[in-house]
Amino acid sequence: MSENNAIELKHVTKRFGEVIANDRVNLTLRKGEILSILGENGSGKTTLMNMLSGIYFPDEGEIFVNGTEVTIRSPKDSFDLGIGMIHQHFKLIPILTAAENIVLGLPQKGRMDMKKIEGDVGALIKRYGFDLNPAEKIYDMSVSQKQTVEIIKVLYRGAEILILDEPTAVLTPQETEKLFDVLRNMRKDGKSIIIITHKLNEVLEISDRVSVLRKGKYIGTVPTSEATVASLTEMMVGAKVDLDIHRSAPVSPKKRLEVKDVTCRNKEGMIVLDHASFTANSGEILGIAGISGSGQKELLESIAGLQNMDCGEVLYYSDDESTHQLHKLSVNEIKQLGVHLSFVPEDRLGMGLVGSMDLTDNMMLRSYRNGKGAMADRKAPRDLAQKVVDELEVVTPSLSTPVRKLSGGNVQKVLVGREISADPTVLMVAYPVRGLDINSSYTIYNLMSDEKDHGVAVICVGEDLDVLLALCDRILVLQSGHVSGIVDARTSTKEQLGLMMTGTVGKEEAVNE
């Protein structure tokens, strides 16, 4: 085995029951390079990395680290080999400081000298260009700072090989830039880095080589310099994909929904939405951008009648010139008014659908009250389920399959299909393509565009700024519960949105209408 390879995987297979998560995967990480692992959701990226970090044990195959064959049985084995993984979900203790979290669980001799530890941590921070105060408590930190702590934690323990699982998912464009600078510094220092992602632009920007997985199989590795967005997509999906989102000019937009000074608190009594105001027009897609947890969920739920508001109004302007005050009504009362609010919530199986019920029963979730009598009509929902399955190409064994047995993309199609079939005048969607493969994502984008063309006021909460900029007409940016501005999607840039998301730009500058 070549000494130049930090990690080499040969024919690694991992099965979960009948599902083959990794099928004879080969992978090579050279010393001192940044390797991207690219693949759609469910292609087995994380499973593969979890085998390197000792969380799973491979069923078959060999793993070589620095040229010698190894057996990784536990996270400790992995660590002893100098492999450090930074997971998507941070494992930090909020009431401790950064430095305390970093040394947590490390064997120490004698008295713990926090000064010295903070000094050591400080040296690491300086060496790689992080931005962090080792004495700061975790609960005071932003998401990107917490991630920094996680990275320093593995470096402090002497990791030579770093694995980052979707590190940019929670970051703004500016923070992503900063992280990439740090990663480049590490590479200069001789560290080998694997970064898991599905954002193609980032792959092209940061990595030296790209390895692609598809449905658990290893497709190939290419040097980044020879790759393009189109070629990588083709490797990921296995076919050429049209990556253009069709966006038409809004036709005679009319004021449909007006949100005024809405303020909400979460269960702990903290204000999560602070005097948010905006209007949504018919025939237009209004995007909502922001770091996750900035009040997006509360905003949509306020409109849908699912959120207790401290104050504020939600006004609905119907076609016959009348105005309804939705904020005083329950979900059912809104429906009885004839206001067709469709809502695709972020939590699909926990809110939008009932996982244990079949397609038919899920179709009637919003409409089961229709019809007279005490008995529920199941014929119409069954027809609707069949229609959704046919039109959106939902892959399901039958209409009586519980929806939780379907894949993420098919679950979302069922949910979106039902909500669109209700003939909405307002369509709200939260993270509509999270967890979906590329083809399904574009199906959903196009469905939203179609609804817009039919005069529906579409409100879309998204996380991929490139997509929001390509899909929406206007974009509202939330920054920790405040509306930091509403911009025209056709003339704005990702960087501009990023600055608004972190609140580094004043309101006056940002409003760009």
DSSP-derived secondary structure letter, 505: S
Q: Is 398 in the site for other proteins (CB under 8 A)?
A: no
Which of 17/110 has CB closer to other proteins? 17
Q: Is 74 in the site for other proteins (CB under 8 A)?
A: no
Q: Is 355 in the site for other proteins (CB under 8 A)?
A: yes
Residue 482 CA: distances (Å) to CA of 85, 187, 502: 34, 38, 11
Residue 234 to residue 228: CA distance in whole angstroms:
10
The two three-digit tokens of residue 311, written as one number: 């104050």
Q: Is 353 in the site for other proteins (CB under 8 A)?
A: yes
From the list 197, 176, 198, the residue with the least C-alpha distance to 499 is 176
Q: Is 108 in the site for other proteins (CB under 8 A)?
A: no
Q: Is 226 in the site for other proteins (CB under 8 A)?
A: no
Smallest distance, other proteins to C-beta of residue 269, A: 17
Say which residue the tokens 């009948």 belong to.
Answer: 18
Residue 183 to residue 193: CA distance in whole angstroms:
8
Which of 95/374 has CB closer to other proteins? 374
User: What is the total count of residues that contact other proteins (CB under 8 A)?
Assistant: 33
Interactions with other proteins, residue window 320-339 (CB under 8 A): 330-332, 335
Residues linked to residue 14 through DSSP beta bridges, in sequence order: 22
Q: Is 115 in the site for other proteins (CB under 8 A)?
A: no
Q: Find the binder of other proteins among 252, 308, 374, 513 (CB under 8 A).
A: 374
Which of 153/366 has CB closer to other proteins? 366
The two three-digit tokens of residue 508, written as one number: 């006056």
Q: Find the binder of other proteins among 328, 369, 387, 490 (CB under 8 A).
A: 369
Backbone CA torsion sign across 45, 49, 54, 59: positive
Q: Find the binder of other proteins among 315, 337, 354, 422 (CB under 8 A).
A: 354
The two three-digit tokens of residue 420, written as one number: 């669109």
Q: Find the binder of other proteins among 2, 4, 67, 69 (CB under 8 A).
A: 69
From the list 487, 490, 348, 335, the residue with the least C-alpha distance to 430 is 348
Say which residue the tokens 């069922």 belong to.
Answer: 414
Say which residue the tokens 């209004």 belong to.
Answer: 286
The two three-digit tokens of residue 98, written as one number: 């950064």
Q: Is 343 in the site for other proteins (CB under 8 A)?
A: yes
Q: Are strands 309-317 and 323-325 parallel, antiparallel or unpaired?
A: antiparallel
Q: Find the binder of other proteins among 304, 363, 389, 414 (CB under 8 A).
A: 304
Say which residue the tokens 């998301």 belong to.
Answer: 501
From the list 443, 494, 441, 5, the residue with the least C-alpha distance to 211 is 5
Q: Is 368 in the site for other proteins (CB under 8 A)?
A: yes
Q: Find the binder of other proteins among 80, 140, 310, 347 (CB under 8 A).
A: 347
Which of 128/343 has CB closer to other proteins? 343
Q: Which of 129-137, 284-292, 352-360, 467-475 is the region at the interface with other proteins (rule: CB under 8 A)?
A: 352-360
Task: Judge whether 312 and 327 are in contact, CB under 8 Å.
Answer: yes
Contact residues for other proteins, defined by CB under 8 A: 17-19, 62, 69, 71, 304, 306, 330-332, 335, 343, 345, 347, 350-357, 361, 364-366, 368-369, 374-376, 378
